[in-house]
Amino acid sequence: MKKHFLFSIALFAGLISVKAQDDMPLVWESRMDHKIVHTGTGTEERGFSYAASDKEITVFDNKTGKPRWNKKFKELAPKLGKIDDLIPFWESDVIFLFDRKLGKDVLAVVEMESGNFLWSTDKYQDVDEENVVYIPEEQSFAISLKKELVFIRARTGEERWSTAKFKGVVGKYAITPDGYMVMVNFVPSSLGALFTGFKNQIAKIDIRNGDIIWENTYVGRAERKVISREFLYDLFVDGDKVMLMMNGYQVYDLKTGASLWSAAFDYTPDGIGKRPADARKFGIYGAVADPVRVGDDLYVLDMS
């Protein structure tokens, strides 16, 4: 049987001579009996990574390269023979496995560290890593579908609630001590066709049953950083107010959702640097100081 290899090489920081470069030492080598089509590398703290073909997956230790577990997908989940897509959700320690049949996607969810099967369903279609958000405070996923937002438990797949009143993907959010979630929506560029009739929306939801307490609109576009995909805006609750830092400051009443005040200003670093000639995507972050609040006063560096 043909073997497939994974290598780990120690990298050293420092000056390297152009004329003579020392070979980088091999830390470990791991042989696998399946093709490597999908790979994912965990952090040092997490301690493991994975490599998979369309029929089999191996999760291995980052320090030694030794397999923690290896299974064929048909052994993991009864409805899976092969997979067309694999999405890891590292923070929740699960992997979404997809057999994307014509018009009927089958989703199976597996615990990443142990390889234990958790749950499976063919109820949710057009699921992609862009429209699934893990909410660690509730150990649940918010999955944005074409007609509704569903909230499901990560470990069991139990649907806690769904609502058709929130359109788009969950962006930045804040959870209050009394069990409510304030969040804004957005549409990733790759999913524009999925959410027709989209409008900017900020809403307060009862996280226990999905009831919309209030909703309002916001001004601006919920953008992400190019590589890390972190949001380029902030949302937080301050006392009885909801503060949205996007296109300036937008402030809402936490109880009613009424717009209290807003201040439009630009603190993006446009003009500070230029896009490199061969760069497809480009961003400059942290180059302009964030606004500073002192009591009722707000100090900003306006770059417009």
Q: pLDDT for 81-134, tens place per residue? A: 889 999 999 999 999 999 988 778 899 999 999 999 999 999 998 898 888 999
Q: 10 Å Cβ neighbour count for 278?
A: 5
Which tokens go with 3? 């073997």
Looking at every residue in the chain, the average pLDDT score rounds to 83
* CB distance 265 to 246 below 8 Å: no
Asked if 202 contacts 213 with a C-beta cutoff of 8 angstroms, the reply is: no
Q: Are 249 and 242 in contact (CB under 8 A)?
A: no
Picking from 147, 144, 214, 223, the residue whose alpha carbon sits closest to that of residue 181 is 214
Domain spanning 1-122: which CATH class is it, in words?
A: mainly beta
Instruction: Report percent pLDDT > 90 for the chain.
Output: 49
> Are residues 135 and 141 in contact, defined by beta-carbon separation less than 8 angstroms?
yes
- pLDDT for residue 190: 59
- Kindly report which listed range (12-26, 34-48, 125-139, 173-187) carries the lowest average pLDDT score: 12-26
Among 206, 283, 192, 203, residue whose Cα is nearest residue 235: 203
Q: Over range 189-216, report the average pLDDT.
A: 85
* Residue 95: per-residue pLDDT: 95
- Sheet arrangement for strand 180-186: 169-175, 180-186, 202-206, 212-216
* Candidate ranges 37-41, 75-79, 124-128, 156-160; pick with highest mean pLDDT: 156-160
Higher pLDDT, 297 or 136: 136
Residue 14 pLDDT > 50: no
Task: Report the pLDDT value the prediction gives residue 100, as an integer from 0 to 100.
Answer: 87
pTM above 0.85, yes or no: no
Quick one: pLDDT at residue 254?
98
How is residue 113 written in tokens? 């560290």
34 or 71: which leads in pLDDT: 71
In the predicted structure, residue 187 carries a pLDDT above the cut 90 = no
CB of 188 within 8 A of CB of 170? no
Element at 45 (helix H, strand E)? none
Which of 77, 82, 68 is closest to 30 using CA atoms?
68
Residue 12 binned pLDDT confidence (cut-offs 50, 70, 90): very low
Sorted by where each begins, the domain ranges of the chain are 1-122
Confidence of residue 273 (pLDDT cuts 50, 70, 90): low
